[in-house]
Amino acid sequence: MSSKAVAIMVSGRGSNLAVILEAVAVGTCPVDVQLVISNKADAPALNIARQAGVPHVVYLNPKDYEERASFDAACADLIDKHACQWIVLAGYMRILSSFFVRRFVGRIINIHPAILPAFPGAHAVEDALTYGVKVSGCTVHLVDEVLDGGPVLAQAVVPVHDDDTRDSLHARIQKEEHRIYPATLKRMVECGFTIVGRKVVWNTKT
Ligand code: GRF
């Protein structure tokens, strides 16, 4: 299995997918995106993947599966079939079943639009605004069985302005997402990391 082969799972717009594919194309992110899976037929991310020439771009309809676990098993089989070492969640709006997380333990990463452990869940940007924090940001983390709870790989901070709306704050956060997600992937394949307790310790480049 190539340690640089990556599967990216998406549900929506795909701006993180796009920046990763751009970074791969210009040589600043040394991964090989073999597979993109969407659980939404109309996700703009699907076209982004096709236009970038990703070898395998797949839409799977959750309604074709009896339960979450069988849908996730179909995704897992595709990931193994295409020998993907890393699974990158990029706006993937489904909770993964425990068996999927265990099958790929330490190999699934996600980006979340808040500074975890603050504001986990699907409404992180609104929750940060409602709380009234003065800074927020984004977190790249390993996925474990706790929602948005896995060890942290990278974080970036942005200010929250008094007149921010959900959209204006999310746009500011996404600028940082687009910077740190490809950079973290690069670091993962080039350096690797060790988990000490729940802390990620980056290896030095070999
Ligand atoms: C991002 O804000 C990410 O933090 C969250 O979902 C959003 C996906 O955006 N998990 P996009 O589809 O990559 O544009």
Spell out the domains of the chain, with CATH numbers in brackets: 1-104 (3.40.50.170), 110-206 (3.40.50.170)
pLDDT of residue 2: 59
pLDDT of residue 3: 81
Confidence class for position 16, pLDDT limits 50, 70, 90: very high
- Token pair, residue 63, equals 């309604």
Write out the DSSP string of 105-126.
TT-EEEEESS-TTSS-STTHHH
For the stretch 154-203, pLDDT in tens is 999 999 999 999 999 999 999 999 999 999 999 999 999 999 999 999 99
pLDDT of residue 29: 97
C-alpha 82/C-alpha 73 separation (Å) is 14
For helices 44-51 and 15-26, give the axis angle rounded to 10 degrees: 10
C-alpha 158/C-alpha 122 separation (Å) is 19
Pocket test for ligand 1, best of 9, 10, 11, 16 (most atoms within 8 A of CB): 16
Q: Which among 177, 206, 175 has a CA at the least distance from the CA of 189?
A: 206
Closest-lying ligand 1 atom to the alpha carbon of residue 17: 13
148 lines ligand 1 (CB under 6 A): no
What do you get for the CA distance between the two ends of the chain, in Å?
Answer: 20
pLDDT of residue 143: 97
177 lines ligand 1 (CB under 6 A): yes
Residue nearest atom 6 in ligand 1 by C-alpha distance: 91
For the stretch 97-152, pLDDT in tens is 999 999 999 999 999 999 999 999 999 999 999 999 999 999 999 999 999 999 99
150: helix, coil or strand? coil
C-alpha 185/C-alpha 6 separation (Å) is 10
| Count of CB atoms situated within 10 Å of the CB of 166 | 13
Q: Which residues are catalytic?
A: 112
- C-alpha of residue 45 to centroid of ligand 1, in Å: 11
Q: Which among 119, 198, 102 has a CA at the least distance from the CA of 152?
A: 198
For the stretch 53-74, pLDDT in tens is 999 999 999 999 999 999 999 9
82: helix, coil or strand? coil
200 lines ligand 1 (CB under 6 A): no
